[in-house]
Structure 1
């Protein structure tokens, strides 16, 4: 098995030649990575869905119109009916996984109630579904050059428009994705 460093709190940046429709031109925030596998949330695939629709489905209504209009992202192809809130801070709800000292992922209803009442995190990314890798799978994909990886950047995660995240995450590593070819040159 190919050994890779712990990629928790890293971005996986899809290489241009990755054509899998679930991951082409994506940035995935890795929430957990161990010998057993990895779990991440794709951060640049907005759905045609707003947070108000998720809240309404749970009989909640946002006090703040701007919060109600937050986009909901397709976090990955696994369990697309399950919601995840990626947020800064250390406040904990019923089902919060602390990724780092500064970023957590929560998947319980109580955070949605807090968000609706204006008592939730100030910055957040709301996603349905996640990306999952079995033991050794992500390491193999990285070895096959499907992904670049680098430390996560909260500004890219929470502030940058979704359409700019793929190129910005790569640029943070000094990589211009438009200059990468999937073809090997044998001149």
Structure 2
């Protein structure tokens, strides 16, 4: 095991990854969460490594009556391949698009950092269906949320490790949750796979 540095409790976690500490059974065991909001009022983010294989993005667009079954054939390959995530335990039927900053819906898009934003309104889905959406995106159903001081307490308890986010890891489609988790741990400096397996089965 190689660890470059200890995990501090940052003043703001926005735009970073919360990575579940190996062997911890918290709200998202072996989870990787991208933090979108963090303030004295609490925090929220999206679980990035819990895909919803039972539904595709084109199927979701159909359910929302944004496209018809016939329209699906004409969707751009990039749009059709967008991954749908089970992104958290709060408002699990509510949808958000986590995306690059090349799309903005006035009053609806929330910028997180210079690379990433999220939008929770239907107009982004309509734009994506007609190839006018962001260059990179994932569809998040639900979100992870904490009340005032809760995430800070969990970090101090050792439930989470923190590191700056890697945009490629945010948007990369990955069907194996463990692989994305291992890659997020590598960003922190935990690279010994034997250690990960041992902790994951403890």
Q: TM-score higher than 0.5 here?
A: yes
- Unpaired runs of 5+ in structure 2? 1-8
Of 165, 170, 182, the match for 2:185:
170
1:57 CA drift (Å): 1.4
Moved more, 111-120 or 47-56: 47-56
CA RMSD of aligned residues (A): 2.0
Q: Which one has a larger percent strand, Structure 1 or Structure 2?
A: 1
Moved more, 144-153 or 47-56: 47-56
CA contact (8 A) 1:17 1:146 kept: no
1:90 CA drift (Å): 4.4
Return the TM-score normalized by structure 1: 0.88
**1:42-84 alpha-carbon deviations (Å, 9 max, x no partner):** 0010012111121011212252244224321011000011101
SS at match of 1:46: coil
Give the Cα–Cα distance (whole angstroms) in 1 for the partners of residues 12 and 183 of structure 2.
22
Return the TM-score normalized by structure 2: 0.82
1:58 aligns with 2:70: no
Give the Cα–Cα distance (whole angstroms) in 2 for the partners of residues 109 and 139 of structure 1.
33
Question: Relative to structure 1, is the Cα distance of residues 56 and 18 closer, same or farther in structure 2, using a 3 angstrom cutoff?
Answer: same
* Aligned twin of 1:132: 145
CA contact (8 A) 1:96 1:105 kept: yes
* Aligned twin of 2:90: 78
Greater RCO (Cα-Cα under 8 Å, separation 6 or more):
2
1:24 aligns with 2:37: no
* Runs of 4+ displaced beyond 6 Å: none
Give the Cα–Cα distance (whole angstroms) in 1 for the partners of residues 152 and 164 of structure 2.
16
CA contact (8 A) 2:42 2:151 kept: yes
Matches within 5 A, 1:100-179: 100-159=113-172, 161-163=174-176, 164-176=179-191, 178=193, 179=195
* Aligned twin of 1:185: none
**1:115-136 alpha-carbon deviations (Å, 9 max, x no partner):** 0011101210111000001111
Question: Relative to structure 1, is the Cα distance of residues 160 and 80 closer, same or farther in structure 2, using a 3 angstrom cutoff?
Answer: closer
